[in-house]
Amino acid sequence: MDTCKAAVFVGTGKPIEIQEFPILPIEPGGALVRMQMAAICGTDVHASHLETTPAPTIFGHENIGVLAELSPIITTDVLGQKLQVGDRVIFRDAPCGRCFQCSMGESCQYSKSYGMIRSNESPYLRGGFGQYLQLSATPWLLRVPDDLSNERALLSVIGNHTCLNGIERIGGVNSADTVVIQGSGPIGLGALNQSLIGGAANVIVIGAPESRLKISSRLGATQTISLSDFPTPEARIERVKELTQGRGADIVIEASGGLTAFQEGLEMVRFGGRYLVIGQWTDYGLLSANPALLTRKVIRVQGVFSAGPRHIIRSMQSMRSIVTAPVEELITHRYELDAVNEGFEAHEKLEAMVAVILPNGDPAK
């Protein structure tokens, strides 16, 4: 039996280990993916510090790979395009279609999350930080078009898809809206991309450090507000008011996860405006907020995480033909499997915008 290597999280405080795993035959209806690129997500870095994170686990949930083996019952991808061994794909476990949340049009309660499953149970290879990944029966598959780079395809499932989910839920960007984005990390810049192609006239990015704001401007931000120039919430709120004729923004998108960001964002929305909250995923418990702003300004707030199948389809197509900015520059750091701990470090130090693992080596080398 063949074997392959994968990077395994073995518990907090310990370096991620490279371990060897058998490559089992695919299950009926399943598929085997040879990994090409997997992003180190902020969630991975965060999880690596939590005692509650299951271990051992092969992380890696933002993935692109090549079909190495494919059940004969799978012949097409979600768009009806022919699929065969050798095709590059974005993949997921399919929703079950028979739970309450599936029935309500929300995310499936039971589908597996690759990159968050213990590696000591067969078939072991369930995360993107390994040379191979085993897909369970009848996975959700989207073929990556030949003219789309791994980098841009991967960005489809980093921030951009979640932003599309959120933007759909708030009723879409209206033409010529002014959007304020709190945060200049991968999600904030995904929000920037998707706001611009959705028709925003002005997109104001609030963030740090200066290098990220420069990238924001290159990607199309009409203004940036630097945390070093405007170090207090009050100063930033006032700056947003100045840039919006005193009214506040039509849409604010929270993509920072900051402890005071939610309240700050509520202050920045105009009367009748909308507030999309994405960054507040980490549970810090009770924070401060003034709910009177909700009623007095008739604000609509929408929380969101992750995305549904259609958002990935749309996101990938946007990366292929709509977003013309050089988004691939967001992938600033590339690591082979052995260097996975360096990647986590670069993420932690905020050196990297997006750091990726190349589990089967860097074709560029």
Cα–Cα dist 154/157, whole Å: 6
Q: How far is the CB of 213 from a second copy (least distance, A)?
A: 20
Query: In the complex with a second copy, which residue's Cβ is closer, 2 or 283?
Result: 283
Residue-level length of the chain: 365
The amino acid at 74: I
Q: Is 79 in the site for a second copy (CB under 8 A)?
A: yes
Q: Is 5 in the site for a second copy (CB under 8 A)?
A: no
Query: In the complex with a second copy, which residue's Cβ is closer, 166 or 343?
Result: 166
Sequence-separated (6 or more) residues with CB below 8 Å from residue 139: 30, 31, 74, 91, 92, 93, 94
Backbone angles phi, psi at 120, to 5 degrees: -100, 15
Query: In the complex with a second copy, which residue's Cβ is closer, 67 or 340?
Result: 67
Q: How far is the CB of 153 from a second copy (least distance, A)?
A: 14
Q: Is 116 in the site for a second copy (CB under 8 A)?
A: no
Q: Which of residues 296-355 bind a second copy (CB under 8 A)?
A: 296-305, 308-310, 313-315, 317-318, 320-322
Ramachandran sector of residue 350 (left: φ over 0; alpha: ψ -120 to 50; beta: rest): left
Q: Is 176 in the site for a second copy (CB under 8 A)?
A: yes
Q: Which of residues 219-258 bind a second copy (CB under 8 A)?
A: 245-247
- Of the CA atoms within 13 Å of residue 32, those in its CB half-sphere come to 18
Spatial contact of 85 and 70, defined as CB atoms under 8 Å apart: yes
Q: How many residues bind a second copy (CB under 8 A)?
A: 88
Q: Is 81 in the site for a second copy (CB under 8 A)?
A: yes
Q: Which of residues 257-296 bind a second copy (CB under 8 A)?
A: 262-263, 271-272, 277-296
Q: Which of residues 120-139 bind a second copy (CB under 8 A)?
A: 138-139
DSSP assignment string, 151-187? HHHHHIIIIIHHHHHHHHHTT-PPTT-EEEEE--SHH
Q: Are strands 354-358 and 331-336 parallel, antiparallel or unpaired?
A: parallel
Q: How far is the CB of 276 from a second copy (least distance, A)?
A: 10
| Candidate segments 18-26, 94-102, 112-120, 230-238, binder of a second copy by CB under 8 A | 94-102
Provide the token pair at 105: 């049009």
Closest CA to 276 of 166, 182, 141, 350: 166
Query: In the complex with a second copy, which residue's Cβ is closer, 118 or 247?
Result: 247
Question: Strand, helix or coil at 217?
Answer: helix
Estimate to the nearest angstrom the gap between the alpha carbon of 258 and the chain centroid.
Answer: 17
Residues 31-70 vs a second copy: string with x where CB under 8 A? ----------------------------------------
Q: How far is the CB of 48 from a second copy (least distance, A)?
A: 19
Query: In the complex with a second copy, which residue's Cβ is closer, 56 or 145?
Result: 145
Estimate to the nearest angstrom the gap between the alpha carbon of 91 and the chain centroid.
Answer: 14
Q: How far is the CB of 17 from a second copy (least distance, A)?
A: 30
The amino acid at 256: S
Query: In the complex with a second copy, which residue's Cβ is closer, 1 or 286?
Result: 286
Provide the token pair at 204: 């104001």
| Interface residue with a second copy, options 99, 230, 336, 339 (CB under 8 A) | 99
The Cβ of residue 288 has, within 10 Å, a number of other Cβ atoms equal to 8
